Chain A
Amino acid sequence: MDIILQGIKEGFLLIWSLDPKIIEVTILSIQVSLAALFFASVLGIPFGALLALRPFPGRKALLNITYTLMGLPPVLAGLIVFLFLSTRGPLGYFQLLFTPTAMVIAQVLLGFPIVAGITARAVMAQPQEVYDTAATLGATRRHAVWTILRESSLGIIGAVTTAFGRLIAEVGAVMMVGGNIDGHTRVLTTSIVLETRMGNDSRALAIGIVLLLLAFIIMMTIFQLEKRSFKDDTSIQIV
Chain B
Amino acid sequence: MRKLFKNKKFAVLIMAIFLMGALAGCGNGADNNADNNTPAPAPAPENPQIKMATTTSTQDSGLLDAILPEFTKDTGYEIEVIAVGTGAAIKMGETGDVDVILVHSRAAEDKFVEDGFGVDRKDVMYNDFLFIGPKDDPAGIKGTDDAVAALKAIAEKQATFVSRGDDSGTHKKEVKTWAAAGIEPAGEWYKSVGKGMGDTYRMADEMKGYTLIDRATFLANQDKYELEAMVEGDKLLLNPYGVIAVNPEKYPNVNNDGALAFIEWMTSEKGQKLIGEYGVDEFGQALFVPDAK
Residues in chain A within 8 A of chain B (CB atoms): 86-87, 97-98, 175, 179-184, 186, 190, 193-194, 196-199, 201
Contacts and interface: CB of A to CB of B under 8 A. Distances in A.
Contacts of B90: 199
Q: Is the interface of B mostly helix, strand, loop or mixed?
A: mixed
Contact of A197 (B84, B192, B208): B84
B243 to A, nearest CB: 19
Interface in B179-214: 191-196, 203, 206-208
A98 B206 contact: yes
Given A86-B206, A98-B207, A197-B166, A180 B91 contact: no
Contact of B193 (A180, A199, A201): A180
Contacts of B166: 194, 197-198
Contacts, number: 53
17 contacts: A98-B203, A175-B195, A179-B191, A179-B195, A179-B203, A181-B191, A182-B165, A190-B194, A194-B166, A194-B195, A197-B85, A197-B87, A197-B194, A197-B196, A198-B85, A199-B92, A199-B167
B88 A184 contact: no
A92 B196 CA distance: 24
Interface in B146-200: 165-167, 191-196
Nearest to B165: A182
A18 B90 CA distance: 30
Contacts of A182: 165, 191-194
Contacts of A98: 203, 206-207
Given A181-B192, A182-B192, A197 B88 contact: yes
A165 B288 CA distance: 46
Interface of B: 84-85, 87-88, 90-92, 165-167, 191-196, 203, 206-208
B87 A198 contact: yes
Contacts of B193: 179-182
A86 B207 CA distance: 9
- A-B pairs, top 5 by smallest CB distance, nearest first, are A199-B91, A182-B192, A194-B194, A199-B88, A198-B167
Nearest to B88: A199
Interface of A is mostly: loop
Given A182-B191, A186-B194, A194-B166, A97 B87 contact: no
Contacts of A184: 191
A184 B207 CA distance: 14
Contacts of B203: 98, 179
A196 B196 CA distance: 13
Nearest to B207: A98
Residue from A98, A179, A182, A201 with most neighbouring chain B CB atoms (10 Å): A179
B88 A196 contact: yes
A106 to B, nearest CB: 15
Nearest to A176: B199
Nearest to B188: A184
Nearest to B92: A199
A194 B87 CA distance: 11
A97 B88 CA distance: 29
A180 B206 contact: no
Nearest to B190: A182
A194 B91 CA distance: 14
Contacts of A86: 206
A190 B194 CA distance: 9
A98 B193 CA distance: 10
A144 B194 CA distance: 53
Contact of A97 (B92, B165, B167, B206): B206
A231 to B, nearest CB: 30
Q: Which of A184, A193, A199 has the most CB of B within 10 A?
A: A199
Nearest to A88: B206
Contacts of B196: 197
Contacts of A193: 194
A197 B193 CA distance: 13
Contacts of B92: 199
Contacts of B195: 175, 179-180, 194
